[in-house]
Structure formats: structure tokens, C-alpha cells
Structure 1
Amino acid sequence: MTKKRAPMVDESGEVRELTAADLRHFKPADQALDPQLYSDLLKMNARARRGPQKAPVKQTTTIRLSPDVMAAFKATGAGWQTRIDNALKDWLITHSPS
């Protein structure tokens, strides 16, 4: 006789912590999902990956910025690092870094 597993959610809808025994009952996604859905997910994941750069166009660095500058740029959403780069390029047009 097999031991009955505990429900995954309690009466209030909270999911309990998974155990090693729970994980042994999981199936791989290709077996658990509808084949079309699994295929669509694979295609989406393949498109999301970035390919190798032909030639690096930017250098990685660490820079210390004041909190208000960081907050202002981060508040503009994704791409904030590129906007900082563009702001510095604009500054270089009329200023000398020395």
C-alpha cells in the first residue's frame, strides 16, 4: 500500500513547501504539457536568447554614481544603463573629461 501524499495547498490556498518525495513525482515539461504548448514555449525561449556579439561594442566597468542619479535613471525603466551612456556621450560633445 502506498503512502498518501499531503495536499499541495491548505484550506486558505497557501502552497506548502515541496519535499524531496514531491519532486520525485514531478514529470519533465515535455511529458506534462500539451505538445503544442511545449513547442511554443521552446520557440519563445529560443527567441529570447541573445546571440554572440560579432565584436564587443561596449566595455564592462564599475562606476560609482550618486543615489539621486541612479534613482532618476532607474525610474525610467529598462535600458537605464544605455541612457546613462547616451547622456555621457552628449556631455562629451561640449565638454572635455580633463
Structure 2
Amino acid sequence: AFTSSSVFTSGYAPGYAKLNKRGGAGGWSPLDSDHYQWLQVDLGSRKQVTAIATQGRYSSSDWTTRYRLLYSDTGRNWKPYHQDGNIWVSIIIMHKL
């Protein structure tokens, strides 16, 4: 299940954040006024996540350039993911084809 801090309009709902989703506007977008944007993915039970993939919005030049990964077993106490002792922040560089 996907939830988010806000939604730009119904065509940009969190459920559209799935990879290769072409419905709606092709991806999730928060309100411009939302300065603490977040997207939450509830896996339903404890899972080991081994990879995360990010892509731009379908049929658009919009994409995420940076995000921070946090995790929680309860949905209340969130912890930043650490890698090699450092808080992990993804820097994504995308090129238009």
C-alpha cells in the first residue's frame, strides 16, 4: 500500500508511484507547498529489501533527484537507513534520452 504526505491532484496519487505505472499522470506528485514530502510503502509484514529502483514520471521530464530512506517496523518510529556507518542518501543522476 502506498501513502503520501500530500497529493498534487487525484491523477498523481501515491499508488501511481509504482515502477512502470502508466495510469493517471504517470507517477506520484505532492503539493508544491508540501516542504516535508514523503512517500510510504507498506509491505504488509516484515520483509528484507535488497534493492530500490527509482524512475522518472511516465511521459514526462519530471524525476526525483535526491531522497532519504527511512524504515520502521511499526509505522511510528522511523529510523534512517545506514550504510557503512553513514546515513544513506541517494543521489540520482538521470539523463533525457
TM-score by length of 2: 0.19
Q: Which of the pair has the greater relative contact order for Cα pairs under 8 Å at 6+ separation?
A: 2
Structure 1 length-normalised TM = 0.19
Considering fraction of residues, name the structure with more helix: 1
